[in-house]
Amino acid sequence: MPPHSASERVRAWRPDVPGLAEVFHARFTRHAYPAHTHTAWTLLIVDDGAIRFDLDRHHHGAAGSAVTLLPPHVPHDGRAATPAGFHKRVLYLDPGVLGEELIGAAVDHPTFADRRLRQRVHQLHRALEEPGDVLEAESRLALIGDRIAERLAPGAAPPPSPPGLAGRLRDLLDAHVADGVTLRAAAAQLHAHPTHLVRSFTTAFGLPPHRYLTGRRVELARRLLLAGRRPAEVATAAGFYDQAHLTRQFRRYVGVSPGRYAGT
- Kindly state the average pLDDT of the residues 104-111: 94
- pLDDT of residue 7 exceeding 80, the answer is no
**pLDDT for the residue numbered 3:** 47
Mean pLDDT across the chain = 91
- pLDDT of residue 249 exceeding 60, the answer is yes
Counting residues of the chain whose pLDDT is more than 90, the rounded percentage is 81
Give the CA angle between residues 240, 241, 243 to the nearest 5°. Answer: 75
Q: How confident is the model at residue 2 (pLDDT cuts 50, 70, 90)?
A: very low
What residues pair up with 112 in beta bridges, in sequence order? 67
Q: Do 45 and 122 meet the contact criterion of CB atoms below 8 Å apart? A: yes
**pLDDT for the residue numbered 6:** 55
Weakest mean pLDDT among 5-14, 35-44, 218-227: 5-14
Could you give the CA distance from residue 59 to residue 41 in angstroms, rounded to a whole number? 19
- Tell whether pTM > 0.85: yes
Could you give the CA distance from residue 185 to residue 2 in angstroms, rounded to a whole number? 49
- pLDDT of residue 78 exceeding 50, the answer is yes
- pLDDT of residue 57 exceeding 80, the answer is yes
Give the CA angle between residues 113, 116, 121 to the nearest 5°. Answer: 95
Could you give the CA distance from residue 163 to residue 249 in angstroms, rounded to a whole number? 32
- pLDDT of residue 146 exceeding 50, the answer is yes
Weakest mean pLDDT among 22-31, 125-134, 243-252: 125-134
Could you give the CA distance from residue 42 to residue 93 in angstroms, rounded to a whole number? 6
